[in-house]
Amino acid sequence: MPLLEVKNLKTYYYTLRGVVKAVDDVSFTLEKGEVLGLAGESGCGKSTVAWSLLGMPPSPGRIAGGHIYLHDDEAGETYDIANMAEEELRSKVRWRKISMVFQGAMNALTPVHRVGDQIAEPLILHAGMTKEEAMNRVVELLNMVGLDDTIAMRYPHELSGGQKQRVVIAMALALDPDIVIADEPTTALDVVVQAQILNLMKELQWKKKRSIILITHDLSIIAELADKVAIMYAGKIVEIGPSSEIFNNPQHPYTQLLLKAIPRLRGPIDKLAYIPGTPPDLMSPPPGCRFYPRCPYAMDVCMREEPEMVEVGKDHYVACWLHSKR
């Protein structure tokens, strides 16, 4: 049984202008100790998936359908996060079983409180620790992410970007969750610090057999870390498979174009491809395959009917009419 099984998840934003189908029928699984990379261009629904997994899509978003099964080994229970009461989610799942380093979290640290107090607060409020227990745990957590104890006494503005990112990773680890979601954890950091943060995540993963969902628009980061990769486009997963398959044998035209757009250190700069056009408005996405307006291989059927996921290799699935039988 996988640790996490997402089935036909739909998360929509109910805005005054209409319904934004940000996550529209997404399915995947995550095993214990596995690193899943979730990639795709801006606005394709990556963060909305992440927040849904915590059972808290940002307002005016709501989980509109599907299931998020989480297996709790300790309790011997399986929860459905997509259909769980808020109270139970809070006491059993959120931050305890699944936690998240949310996008931009390092810039959302409260400027007026010391870092140590900010890490300790949820431990006192939600985990029922005494102030002293919480402070001991804070030191443990800071050390775990490669920071020394003195950082606890500092204010966020006294830290570098890399240090702040380590602090928010420490916060996500506070209650020792089985799954950590990291949403763009290295964006806005310079390349050297990026590499340090990735190494830290690798270490945190293998030491505890923790599962990680790594979200980024940057496929080169996913190549470093992920066992499995899911490519999202316009609210849907268009291709998913083992990392080696996705990078060496990509089957969806969108994945192929995304891979071409990775800047290479040694390659000539004029070879850098970009994907013409932009993702569709998720309030009224095109019928059929959502990628067809930008797809170099678009056929008639692509504009009329949505392709289903088909297996094209071991554990490798793609939703594209080039592979589906009509």
Ligand X SMILES: Nc1ncnc2c1ncn2[C@@H]1O[C@H](COP(=O)(O)OP(=O)(O)OP(=O)(O)O)[C@@H](O)[C@H]1O
Q: What is the layout of strands, in order, in the sheet containing 211-215?
A: 98-101, 179-183, 211-215, 35-39, 228-233, 236-242, 316-319, 309-313
Q: Using the rule CB under 6 A, is 213 a contact of ligand X? A: no
- The values of phi and psi at residue 252, to 5°, are -85, 135
Stretch of 14-22, 66-74, 76-84, 308-316 lying at the interface with ligand X (CB under 6 A): 14-22
Q: Kindly state the number of chain residues that form the binding site for Mg ion, as judged by CB under 5 A.
A: 3
Contact yes or no for 193/152 (Cβ under 8 A): no
154 binds, among ligand X, Mg ion, none (CB under 5 to 8 A by kind): none
Out of 282, 318, 319, 320, the residue judged to bind ligand X by CB under 6 A: 282
Q: What is the layout of strands, in order, in the sheet containing 19-30?
A: 19-30, 4-14, 61-72, 77-80
Site for ligand X in 57-86 (CB under 6 A): 58, 60-61
- As measured in angstroms, the least distance from the Cβ of 291 to ligand X is 15
Contact yes or no for 107/156 (Cβ under 8 A): no
For the beta carbon of residue 41, count every other beta carbon within 10 angstroms: 16
Stretch of 15-23, 63-71, 223-231, 245-253 lying at the interface with ligand X (CB under 6 A): 15-23
Tokens representing residue 162 in the block: 């890399």
Contact letters for ligand X, residues 162-181 (x by CB under 6 A): --------------------
Q: Using the rule CB under 5 A, is 47 a contact of Mg ion? A: yes
Contact yes or no for 80/8 (Cβ under 8 A): no
Q: Using the rule CB under 6 A, is 46 a contact of ligand X? A: yes
Query: Which of 297, 308, 295 is CA-nearest to residue 254?
Result: 295
Nearer to ligand X, 58 or 277 (CB): 58
User: d(Cα 270, Cα 248) in Å, to the nearest integer?
Assistant: 22
Q: Using the rule CB under 6 A, is 43 a contact of ligand X? A: yes
Tokens representing residue 261 in the block: 């757009």
Cα of 249 vs its chain's centroid, Å: 23
13 binds, among ligand X, Mg ion, none (CB under 5 to 8 A by kind): ligand X
User: d(Cα 70, Cα 186) in Å, to the nearest integer?
Assistant: 27
- As measured in angstroms, the least distance from the Cβ of 215 to ligand X is 7
Q: Using the rule CB under 6 A, is 135 a contact of ligand X? A: no
248 binds, among ligand X, Mg ion, none (CB under 5 to 8 A by kind): none
Nearer to Mg ion, 57 or 116 (CB): 57
User: d(Cα 106, Cα 161) in Å, to the nearest integer?
Assistant: 8
Site for ligand X in 214-233 (CB under 6 A): 217
Distances (CA, A) of 143 to 56, 147, 193: 30, 5, 17
Out of 3, 26, 47, 251, the residue judged to bind ligand X by CB under 6 A: 47
Nearer to Mg ion, 47 or 165 (CB): 47
Nearer to ligand X, 235 or 241 (CB): 235
Pairing between β-strand 35-39 and β-strand 309-313 as defined by DSSP bridges: unpaired
Give the residues lining the site for ligand X (CB under 6 A).
13, 15, 20, 22, 40, 42-48, 58, 60-61, 103, 217, 282
Residues forming contacts to Mg ion in the complex (CB under 5 A) are 46-47, 103
